[in-house]
Amino acid sequence: MMQIFMPLNFLGFVYREMKGSMANIEAMFALLRQRPSINDAAQAPTLALKDGCIEVQDLNFQYHSDRPILNNISFTVAAKQKVAIVGSSGAGKSTLLKLLFRFYDASSGRILIDGQDIKTVSQASLRGALGIVPQDTVLFNMSILENIRYGRIDASDEDIYEAIRMAHLSDFIARLPKGVDTLVGERGLKLSGGEKQRVAIARALLKKSPIMIFDEATSSLDSASERLILEAIKDIAREHTMLVIAHRLSTVVDADHILVLDQGEIVEQGNHASLLAQQGQYAHLWLMQQRERSIVPTAEE
């Protein structure tokens, strides 16, 4: 295990970071991979979430001084809006999420959540406050119930069953030999990509954050799985502010606003219909994906 090789003081940092927020394991692995270069301001207050509005203002960022990665990015996700970011590989989508979670600080510009600059609040409160469905979900050799409870260890059974329902996992669990007590992982049931994603959705919902962030997995899904995930996202979008990093445009067609990112810049924006009418990158991507869908049958990995 990677953790064994980590210096103890760094593990202590990670533990303190995670203890307050009960952030998920994916965030913990991300932290373990990246030594923190970011410090909290002295007596940084806790992020006070209200409706869940995200404002990104004139954001610029580079990992190394000679290569800009994000250029003058500005957009707002108003409370209960669904905003999607699409764009080719390397466009800067994941980098934007890393800045939102403050794994890095922007070179200039700022990100506000409910009016608070994320640089001014404690990192633990920031990360604890945002619900995230990551690209890859880590499952443990535990029951499906405990795997979902991992989103918030002190969640009540009632909250867990509500999250299971919202993540469209109820029918899947009903078919398991021991229901929610069925073991998953190496020594138990192997979940498909789509089922794992729905476990991740249930975990994220347990945080009860007004903000949900979906970092969509690139792996292909069969159409039944895709439909279940789309339904879950649709239900959740009614009640949450949602930022989606999307690879499949089927996830974004109903978004209030779509940003097309290319080489660190927003090159097109609008809703699905207006972007199609622009006949630019988005329209091209849409056409390509429609063609692929009619030619290549998708399959669960």
The site for ligand ATP (CB under 6 A) is made up of: 63, 69, 87, 89-95
- The DSSP bridge partners found for residue 268 are 260
Distances (CA, A) of 255 to 61, 110, 237, 260, 286: 26, 24, 9, 13, 15
Choice between 87 and 128, CB closer to ligand ATP: 87
Minimum gap (Å) between residue 93 Cβ and ligand ATP: 4
Question: To the nearest 5 percent, what fractions of the chain are helix, strand and coil?
Answer: 40, 20, 40
Minimum gap (Å) between residue 227 Cβ and ligand ATP: 23
b/e 61-82 (16+ beta carbons within 10 angstroms → b): bbeeeeebbbeebebebeebbb
Choice between 106 and 144, CB closer to ligand ATP: 106
| Alpha helix ranges (H) inside 175-217 | 193-205
Choice between 95 and 241, CB closer to ligand ATP: 95
Distances (CA, A) of 123 to 21, 42, 89, 99, 247: 9, 12, 28, 12, 28
Count the neighbouring beta carbons within 10 Å of the beta carbon of residue 163. 24
Choice between 86 and 236, CB closer to ligand ATP: 86
Minimum gap (Å) between residue 101 Cβ and ligand ATP: 13
Choice between 69 and 237, CB closer to ligand ATP: 69
Choice between 59 and 173, CB closer to ligand ATP: 59
Rg (CA), the chain: 19
Choice between 102 and 152, CB closer to ligand ATP: 102
Minimum gap (Å) between residue 91 Cβ and ligand ATP: 4
Minimum gap (Å) between residue 255 Cβ and ligand ATP: 17
Minimum gap (Å) between residue 235 Cβ and ligand ATP: 26
Minimum gap (Å) between residue 97 Cβ and ligand ATP: 8
CA dihedral 216, 273, 100, 262 (to 10 degrees): 90
Minimum gap (Å) between residue 164 Cβ and ligand ATP: 29
Query: Which segments of the chain are extended strands (E)?
Result: 54-64, 67-77, 82-87, 108-113, 116-117, 131-133, 211-215, 241-245, 257-262, 265-270
Q: How far apart are CA 260 and CA 285, in angstroms?
A: 10
CB of 77 within 8 A of CB of 54? yes
Choice between 54 and 73, CB closer to ligand ATP: 73
Give the residue among 159, 266, 263 at the shortest CA–CA distance from 148.
159
